[in-house]
Amino acid sequence: MTCDLLFAAPQIVAHRMGAMERDENTLEALKECASLGLKAFETDIHITKDDQLIVTHDGSLKRRCGVEGVVEDMTLEEIKKARTKDGHQLPTLKELLTFLKDKDILMQLELKTNGDGKRLKKLAELMVKELKEAEFGGERLLVISFCLEGLKFTKEFDPNISTGYLCGGSDEKNILAAKEAGCDWISAELATTTRRFADKVRKEGMKLALWTIRAKRDFELAKVLEADAFVTDLPKTMSEEWKR
């Protein structure tokens, strides 16, 4: 199953829910960006010590919340006591999906791991379970990861979920690996993506997202490479200025 609606045109995707314009990966950021009309978002999912799914990019709370603590070694209760520097909680995946219910919003969920295969499999299992319970999926969902094993686990638990491989865009072996893993997308680093790589992604029947766009020159390069999705920390700026 491919996500044709997810990026039907070159789609602006708010990376970490708009990391350079909002309090990244918070419900507040998602709500504010959605109120501006943005329709596609990327965020990151970790598993806690007590098997809960938390939305945050880093494996620790140091940068975001200014406190010591490794997410996978903490309980959800412990994490919920922390606040970002802007005073917000880190949301759970369940809280995120509750907000998304009945909304015309598309989501990329990135699986994050400390490298433990058993925990990664548990993360994928719980994520799929919560997605099914929330009835969130189909063309509204893309699961992505730098770890192909995580994407394979996701397909194992639900073969209908569309997946995308995060990688550099200069090594064509990544395209073969993504195809063998059943990926529908490749999400490649803009700075290393070549025209040859981009063309081969399309030739192999996959779509191409490029990250992370932080300047107008990045946006122009992504257009030249004919990306299907533009993953940016500045979604509001891109929508209002660069797309004119």
Write down the residue that tokens 């990151």 correspond to.
44
How crowded is the C-beta side of 122, counted as CA atoms within 13 Å? 16
- For β-strands 40-47 and 53-55, DSSP reports them as antiparallel
- 242 pLDDT band, cuts 50/70/90, is confident
Which of 165, 161, 207 shows the shortest CA–CA distance to 10?
207
In a domain, 67, yes or no: no
Percent of the chain surpassing pLDDT 90: 91
In a domain, 87, yes or no: no
pLDDT mean over 45-50: 98
In a domain, 193, yes or no: yes
Q: Is the pLDDT of residue 7 over 50?
A: no
Percent of the chain surpassing pLDDT 70: 96
The total number of structural domains that make up the chain? 1
CATH (domain of 136): 3.20.20.190
To the nearest whole number, what is the mean pLDDT of the chain? Answer: 94
pLDDT of res. 239: 87
More confident residue, 174 or 9: 174
In a domain, 65, yes or no: no
Which of 118, 190, 107, 185 shows the shortest CA–CA distance to 150?
118
- How far is residue 184's CA from residue 103's CA, in Å, rounded to a whole number? 24
Per-residue model confidence as pLDDT tens digits over 113-127:
887 899 999 999 999
- 84 pLDDT band, cuts 50/70/90, is very high
pLDDT mean over 72-84: 97
Q: Residues near 191 by Cβ (< 8 Å), separated by ≥ 6?
A: none
pLDDT mean over 62-86: 97
In a domain, 238, yes or no: yes
Write down the residue that tokens 């994490």 correspond to.
79
In a domain, 66, yes or no: no
More confident residue, 232 or 241: 232
Exposure string over 42-56, b if 16+ CB within 10 A, otherwise e: bbbbbbbeeebbbbb
Q: Which two tokens stand for residue 81?
A: 């006591």
In a domain, 71, yes or no: no
In a domain, 160, yes or no: yes
Domain interval for residue 137:
11-59+92-242
pLDDT mean over 96-109: 96
Instruction: Count Cβ atoms below 10 Å from residue 7 Cβ, excluding itself.
Output: 23
Write down the pTM of the prediction: 0.95
pLDDT of res. 9: 64
pLDDT of res. 55: 98
pLDDT of res. 234: 96
pLDDT mean over 13-25: 97
pLDDT mean over 142-165: 97
Q: Is the pLDDT of residue 4 over 70?
A: no
Per-residue model confidence as pLDDT tens digits over 213-227:
999 999 999 999 999
Q: Is the pLDDT of residue 6 over 60?
A: no
